[in-house]
C-alpha cells in the first residue's frame, strides 16, 4: 500500500464542505481506484466556529490559508477561496514554492495569472489542476486536454455560466423581463446579491480564457476576451428568437481563424434543436470541435457542492495516481502567444431589433443603411401595426462582417424614426 495522499483544504464554503463530504463518503472507493487513501489533514476558513455539517475532528485547523499552503506533511493544497488576487493568489504561490501540488476551482485566479502560475508549477515540478474551475462537474478540462489530445482543436464554445442560462430559460418559459427574473433568482439563491460577475459575462469570460489556453496550447489572455452580458436581452427578443427557430444563450466562444484566435462572450441565437439550444436551466455545456474527432458535446451541472467536489476529486485522484499532464496541454516553453482576432473581424449572421415609429419610409431608410454597408438582409418581420407609435421591427442578415454591421447600426440608430438604441444579437449556426 502506497502512503495516503494528504490534502489541505483552504475555504470551507459550499464547495469545501462538499469536498469534505465526498472524501469521507467515498473513502474506500477512492482507495480502490487510486491504490492509496486520500485524506484531508488540514483546513482553513474564515470563521472557525461555524457549523459546516462536516466532521473536522482529527483535521488540523489553520487561520491563515498561506500558512496552511506550506503546512508540513501536506501533499496537495486545495484552494477554494476564490478571487483573482489577495490571499488566494498568495496561498497558491506559497504552496507551489513549497513543492505542494495545487488543485483549485478559482477561475478568476487562473484567467488573470494562469500562465505565470503554470510556469511556477512546471519549474517546481508540481501539478496545478483546475477541473473544477470550468463547467463545474463536467470533465471538460480532462476531455479537451486528454480525451481529445490527438486533435488540433478548431473551436471550443459553450454555456459557461449557469446563472445566466437559468435567467434566460426562466425569461422564456415565464415570458417575464430580465429584472423580474433576476430578482427571483436572487431570492432563490441562483444569483448572487451582487450579480454583475455572472450577468455581465465576466465569470464566463474567465472560464473561456482558461478553455482557450487548454484548447489551443496558448498563453492565457483574459484581457483579449470580448465580453457582453445579458442585461439587454428582452422578453421580446426571446419571443422573436423562438419564432425564428432559435434560443438565446450567453455563450463563450474561442475560435481559431486565419487572423488569430477569437475569444468572445455574448448573447447568441443558436438553433433550438442544437445541443446548446437544448440545454436549458442551470446546466452548462461545452462543445469542442477537433480536426479528427469533429464535434464533441459535454453537458452537466456547472456549479453546486456535489458537482464541483466531483471535479476537485478527479484532480486529486489524478495526483494520487501520478497521472500528469502539462497545465495548458503543452509545456510552458511551447505555449504560443495568443494572437487575438478582434470582435470586429467576426463574420456571421445577425439578428437586429429596432423600435421604430410606424410611418411610411422608415423601412426604406433602414434597408438603405444596410445596403450601403453591403449587409444583405435575410428576413424581416413587422408584426404589430400602430400608426405614429413605436413598434418593434426585427430583421436577420446573411453572413456579413461585424465591422460593416456596426457601421450600419450606427446609421440606423441615428435615424429619427428609430426611438431606442438598436438591439443586435449574433446568430451562431452550430
Q: Which of 247, 301, 346, 423 is close enough to bind its own copies by CB under 8 A?
A: 301
Q: Which of 4, 13, 26, 70 is close enough to bind its own copies by CB under 8 A?
A: 26
27 touching its own copies, by CB under 8 A: no
14 touching its own copies, by CB under 8 A: no
Cβ nearer to its own copies, comparing 115 with 396: 115
Per-residue binder mask for its own copies (CB under 8 A), 360-399, x = binder = ----------------------------------------
Rounded to 5°, the CA angle 213-216-218 comes to: 50
6 is catalytic: no
Closest CA to 302 of 287, 286, 318: 286
Residues 164-203 binding its own copies (CB under 8 A) are none
How many residues sit in the footprint of its own copies (CB under 8 A)? 61
138 touching its own copies, by CB under 8 A: yes
Select the span of 32-40, 62-70, 194-202, 256-264 touching its own copies (CB under 8 A): 32-40
Residues 306-325 binding its own copies (CB under 8 A) are 306-307, 309-314, 316-318, 321-325
Instruction: Print burial letters for 117-137: b (CB count within 10 Å at least 16), e (below 16).
Output: bbbbbbebebbbbbbbbbbbb
Q: Please state the closest distance from residue 366 (CB atom) to its own copies, in A.
A: 36
Cβ nearer to its own copies, comparing 29 with 368: 29
Q: Where are the alpha helices (DSSP H) in 26-75?
A: 27-34, 65-69
Distance CA 24, CA 21 (A): 5
Quick one: cell of 251? Answer: 455563450
Distance CA 188, CA 147 (A): 36
Strand partners of residue 249? 268
* Active-site residue (options: 21, 50, 207, 295): 207
Task: Burial-class residue 53 by CB neighbours within 10 Å (0-12, 13-18, 19+).
Answer: exposed
Q: What is the DSSP letter of 102?
A: E
Placement of cell 490571499 in the chain: 87
Sign of CA dihedral 254, 270, 303, 147: negative
Select the span of 111-119, 206-214, 284-292, 339-347 touching its own copies (CB under 8 A): 284-292
Q: Which of 83, 99, 125, 331 is close enough to bind its own copies by CB under 8 A?
A: 331
Distance CA 177, CA 251 (A): 20
278 touching its own copies, by CB under 8 A: yes
Closest CA to 75 of 22, 4, 146: 4
Residues near its own copies, by CB under 8 A: 18, 22, 25-26, 29-30, 32-33, 35, 131, 137-139, 142-143, 146-152, 217, 273, 275, 278-280, 290-301, 306-307, 309-314, 316-318, 321-326, 329-331, 334
Q: Which residues are catalytic?
A: 207
Amino acid at each position: 500500500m502506497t502512503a495516503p495522499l494528504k490534502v489541505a483544504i483552504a475555504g470551507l464554503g459550499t464547495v469545501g464542505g462538499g469536498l469534505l463530504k465526498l472524501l469521507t463518503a467515498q473513502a474506500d472507493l477512492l482507495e480502490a481506484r487510486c491504490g492509496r487513501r486520500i485524506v484531508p489533514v488540514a483546513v482553513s476558513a474564515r470563521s472557525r466556529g461555524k457549523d459546516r455539517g462536516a466532521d473536522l475532528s482529527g483535521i488540523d485547523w489553520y487561520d491563515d490559508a498561506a500558512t496552511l499552503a506550506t503546512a508540513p506533511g501536506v501533499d496537495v493544497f486545495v484552494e477554494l477561496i476564490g478571487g483573482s488576487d489577495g490571499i488566494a493568489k498568495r496561498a497558491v504561490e506559497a504552496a507551489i514554492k513549497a513543492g505542494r501540488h495545487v488543485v483549485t476551482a478559482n477561475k478568476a485566479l487562473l484567467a488573470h495569472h494562469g500562465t505565470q502560475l503554470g510556469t511556477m508549477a512546471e519549474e517546481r515540478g508540481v501539478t496545478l489542476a483546475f477541473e473544477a474551475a470550468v463547467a463545474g462537474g463536467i470533465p471538460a478540462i480532462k476531455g479537451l486536454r486528454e480525451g481529445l489530445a490527438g486533435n488540433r482543436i478548431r473551436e471550443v464554445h459553450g454555456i459557461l455560466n449557469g446563472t445566466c442560462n437559468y435567467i434566460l430559460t426562466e425569461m422564456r418559459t415565464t415570458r417575464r423581463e430580465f429584472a423580474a427574473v433576476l430578482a427571483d433568482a436572487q431570492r432563490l439563491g441562483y444569483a448572487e446579491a451582487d450579480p454583475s460577475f455572472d450577468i455581465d459575462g465576466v465569470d464566463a469570460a474567465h472560464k473561456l480564457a482558461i478553455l482557450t489556453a487548454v484548447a489551443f496550447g496558448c498563453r492565457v489572455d483574459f484581457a483579449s476576451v470580448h465580453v457582453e452580458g445579458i442585461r439587454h436581452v428582452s422578453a421580446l427578443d426571446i419571443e422573436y428568437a423562438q419564432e425564428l427557430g432559435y434560443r438565446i444563450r450567453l455563450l463563450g466562444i474561442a475560435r481559431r481563424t486565419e487572423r488569430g484566435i477569437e475569444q468572445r462572450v455574448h448573447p447568441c441565437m443558436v438553433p433550438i434543436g442544437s445541443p446548446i439550444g437544448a440545454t436549458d436551466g442551470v446546466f452548462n455545456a461545452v462543445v469542442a470541435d477537433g480536426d479528427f474527432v469533429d464535434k464533441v458535446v459535454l453537458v452537466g451541472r456547472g456549479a453546486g457542492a456535489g458537482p464541483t467536489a466531483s471535479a476537485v476529486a478527479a484532480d486529486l485522484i489524478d495526483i494520487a495516481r501520478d497521472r500528469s499532464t502539462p497545465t495548458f496541454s503543452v509545456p510552458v516553453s511551447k505555449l504560443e502567444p495568443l494572437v487575438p482576432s478582434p470582435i470586429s473581424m467576426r463574420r456571421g449572421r445577425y439578428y437586429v431589433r429596432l423600435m421604430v415609429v410606424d410611418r411610411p419610409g422608415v423601412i426604406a431608410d433602414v434597408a438603405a443603411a444596410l445596403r450601403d454597408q453591403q449587409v444583405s438582409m435575410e428576413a424581416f418581420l413587422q408584426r404589430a401595426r400602430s400608426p405614429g407609435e413605436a413598434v418593434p421591427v426585427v430583421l436577420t442578415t446573411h453572413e456579413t462582417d461585424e465591422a460593416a454591421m456596426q457601421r450600419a447600426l450606427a446609421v440606423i440608430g441615428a435615424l429619427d424614426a428609430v426611438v431606442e438604441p438598436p438591439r443586435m444579437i449574433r446568430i451562431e449556426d452550430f
